[in-house]
Structure 1
Amino acid sequence: MGRQRGSGTPSEHTDTGERPGRTRGRRWRRGVLALSVACAVAVPLAGAARPRVPAPPPAVLAPPAAATLDATYAANRANAGRAARMAAEHGDRGRAAVDRALAGRQLLSFDGRGPGLATEVLGDLAHADRIAVLVPGSDTGLDTYGRFRAAALALHERLTREAPAGTRTAVVAWLGYETPGTVSTTVATTGRAEEAAPGLRDVVGDLRAVAGQRPRISLLCHSYGSVVCARAADGLDVDDIALLGSPGTGADTAAGLRTRARIWAARGADDWVENVPHLGAGLFGTTVGFGTDPLSPAFGARVFAAGDGGHSDYFAPGSTSLANLTRIVLGESRAVTS
């Protein structure tokens, strides 16, 4: 998920007669194999330790449109309220508190079952000229929703402050898929992203249906979320796709994503993703790793500055990355710094 620095001394390469690249590749494969075996044992046990929280099935909704938006919000608020009561009866006060808070917000979708799914809108979606869709990475669910929402709030506040007069903005926090765990076998493969991509395409279609005018839509894709965006990108009706702290996309080049959208990429100076190899290796009948580094010239993205932040700092208030993301969403590409 970043470039691997050279490992091993020159004498080591001389003694073995192997090229450094081959050595790194073999170490990467061995490391992935060891991690996969460990996770295959540890992750199911960790999941078994926490029973799934009961919740009602999602609300039945009318087709998305500006005229049905208030009814959609009301139905999902009611569903989140029922989920909060069921979680409280189950004894899960943390989940009950999250569901209760969501019951007071603008939700395009909500499913309190299991890890939970939600799509929250900040702003006036029906009249927005600029829409940003945040796509999260690993370890994001209703139990950790607060940190994801904080990113959406920070962006919404800055957009509201910096949008030109007459330009209306909205931010959509799309927790629309079951994200992989950071320590799991799923985080190093495209499986979850392939499952999530149709839902992301659907929500973009819903946004187009709700906003009667033609708004500018940007996908801001963090970490594993960039793999999801890449899987959904082919022919997707969006204007910009920003890859933040990306482990790679599975495509060799930005052109390989087959989208009319402008592709942006950034990585903070203290983001640990830089130290993970950008490789793809066959393992147990699947491909592990996501290939070309989106920041490399070979990939061909528009690389922009993200400052000194770490993997979770791209939406930090006052940060260089948030300033540039705001400019991308507003369509002010010439003001984006590199």
Structure 2
Amino acid sequence: MRPGTAVRWRRRVGRWRRAALATLVVGAVAYPLSGAARPEIPAPPPVALAAPTADTLTDVYAANRANAAEAARMAEAYGDRHRAAADRGLAGPSRQLLTFDGRGEGLVTEVLGDLAHADRVAVLVPGSDTGLDTYGRFRAAALALHRQLVAEAPGGVRTAVVAWLGYETPGTVSTAVATTGRADEAAPRLRGLVDALRGVTGPGAEVALLCHSYGSVVCARAADDLDVADIALVGSPGTGADSVAGLRTGARVWAARGADDWVENVPHLSADLFGTTVGFGTDPVSPAFGARVFDAGDGGHSDYFDPGSLSLTNLARIALGETTEVTHD
């Protein structure tokens, strides 16, 4: 390849991506916010449990594992072996499920570490195309973060990670991914999770939200006066707010984008049309937004939690409250 050809090719690909994303935004305006329904996989309803406490966590985990095991049996009988395998994995004896719902695309909240005694809790909020069928990749990110926290935590500091698949995420190729609708539905659930964590952890525990892609829209919609110390937005298409002030939060707000993340090409616009907000407004890594921009390295959209990456190192430092150690872009 001749000198300069690779650069021109990357620019051409960037233009194609921008055009495709702009078309998606326009499509969200022109067409109803609906999608083809997939066949419903049989699963039991979630178990009805009281709000968890430090004393009841073991019972909560066990009840949700049993529910996942029953969901696996029902999915197997239905003929969906992939879902059955995912449910069986979640039903394993070592899994700590704070919530589980095997119906539809599926919802689960999983804890890594000792939540009841944690001094620092990191809550991961996923983006699009995350459900029980793809949960493994989301859990891999949570595991990588948990290992990083354990490795970097100062002596005596105990940590836990909460992988929160607590909302129906939009598909990447869908009109819903260009609107705040799913985030507006998810925000009260995320607020409920943070409240539930406060009923389990000690009074001095600090909570950080680490929000990826469309998950950053969810975190932004839930941020108003939420009892968390930090909110980190990575690979964010925008939040629906013009600035950090618009989030109405006392938390430190961070933002980062990898050098090879295609989300850079998302048009940063926002419009209220026919009762639906389309687009997400100001770029969170821009000076106009006002977040603390940190270095995410050279990775792409799915690389923020890769072991050994600069982004994972900085996210762990944010979750640990080691704010002066975070490297800035």
Q: TM-score, normalised by structure 1?
A: 0.88
Q: Structure 2 counterpart of 1:33, which letter?
A: V
From 55, 74, 79, give the equivalent of 2:43.
55
Partner of 2:84: 96
User: Which amino acid in the other structure matches residue 239 of structure 2?
Assistant: T
Cα deviation 1:121-178 (Å, max 9, x = unaligned): 0000000000000000000000000000000000001111111111100000000000
Cα deviation for residue 38 of structure 1 reads 7.4
Aligned position for 1:32: 25
Q: Is the 8 A contact 1:133 1:219 kept in 2?
A: yes
Instruction: Give yes or no for the alignment of 1:120 onto 2:91.
Output: no
SS at match of 2:55: helix
Listed one character per residue, the Cα deviations across residues 15-59 of structure 1 (whole Å, up to 9, x for unaligned) are xxxxxxxxxxx9987663346657968x42xx3xx4121100001
1:81 and 2:81 matched: no
Once the two structures are superposed, residues 164-197 of structure 1 have per-residue CA deviations (whole angstroms, 9 ceiling, x without a partner) of: 1111000000000000011111111111001000
Match of 1:72 in 2: 60
- The SS at the match of 2:148 is helix
Q: How many residues align?
A: 311
Contact 1:36 1:184 in 2 (8 A): no
Give the 5 Å matches for 1:158-197: 158-197=148-187
Superposed, which structure 2 residues align to 1:184-263 within 5 Å? 184-263=174-253
Q: Which residue of 2 aligns with 1:315?
A: 305
Cα drift, residue 213 of structure 1? 3.3
Asked if the contact 2:118/2:202 (under 8 Å) is kept, the reply is no
Percent identical among aligned pairs is 73
Give the number of the structure whose alpha-carbon radius of gyration is greater: 1
Amino acid at match of 1:141: G
Distance 1:242 1:290 in 2: 16
Q: CA deviation at 1:282?
A: 3.9
Counterpart-to-counterpart distance in 2, 1:256 and 1:282? 16
Answer whether contact 2:181 2:277 (CA < 8 A) is retained.
no
- 1:167–1:109 Cα change, 3 Å: same
Written as runs of structure 1 = structure 2, the 5 A alignment for 1:244-323 is 244-323=234-313
Matched with 2:126 is 136
Give the match's secondary structure for 1:161.
helix
Q: Structure 1 stretches of 5 or more lacking a match?
A: 1-5, 8-25
SS at structure 2 position matched to 1:210: coil
Question: Unaligned regions of 5+ residues in structure 2, if any?
Answer: 1-10, 13-18
Residues 307 and 89 of structure 1: is their aligned pair in 2 closer, same or farther, counting only changes over 3 Å?
same
| Cα distance change on mapping 1:97 and 1:168 into 2, 3 Å | same
In the aligned structure 1, how far is the partner of 2:213 from the partner of 2:249?
20
Q: Distance in 2 between matches of 1:30 and 1:188?
A: 10
- Matches of 1:327 and 1:96, distance apart in 2: 37
Verify the 8 A CA contact 2:271 2:278 in the aligned structure 1: yes
Contact 2:22 2:266 (C-alpha < 8 Å) held by counterparts = no
CA contact (8 A) 1:221 1:244 kept: yes
Q: Give the aligned residue type for 2:128.
A: S
CA contact (8 A) 1:177 1:196 kept: yes
Q: Which string of whole-angstrom CA distances, capped at 9 and with x for unpartnered residues, describes residues 203-255 of structure 1?
A: 10111110123211000000000000000000100000000110111111101
Give the 3-state SS of the residue equivalent to 1:131 in structure 2. strand
Alpha-carbon distance, 1:62 to partner? 2.3
Could you tell me the TM-score, scaled by structure 2's length?
0.90
Aligned partner of 1:102: which letter? L
List, as ranges, runs of 4+ consecutive aligned residues in structure 1 with deviation greater than 3 Å. Answer: 26-31, 34-41, 282-285
Letter in 1 for 2:56: T
Question: What is the SS of the residue equivalent to 1:67?
Answer: coil
Q: Which amino acid aligns with 1:63?
A: A
Q: 1:120 to 1:151 in 2, by over 3 A?
A: same
Counterparts of 1:335 and 1:201, CA distance in 2: 28
